[in-house]
Amino acid sequence: MLRTLAACAALTLMSGTAMTDAARAEGVSHKIAIHVDDSDMRVMNMALNNAENARSYFASIGDTVELELVAYGPGLQMFVKDQSPVAARIAAMSLEFEEIQFSACGNTIKNMAKKLGHEPVLIEEAEVVPSGVARLVELQEDGYSYIRP
pLDDT digits (tens, 9 = 90+) for 16-74: 444 445 444 568 999 999 999 999 999 999 999 999 999 999 999 999 999 999 999 99
Question: For the segment 62-114, what is each residue's pLDDT rounded down to a tens digit?
Answer: 999 999 999 999 999 999 999 999 999 999 999 999 999 999 999 999 999 99
Q: What's the pLDDT tens digit per position in 109-133? A: 999 999 999 999 999 999 999 999 9
- What residue ranges define each of the domains in the chain, with the CATH number in brackets? 28-147 (3.40.1260.10)
Q: Are the beta carbons of 43 and 36 closer than 8 angstroms?
A: yes
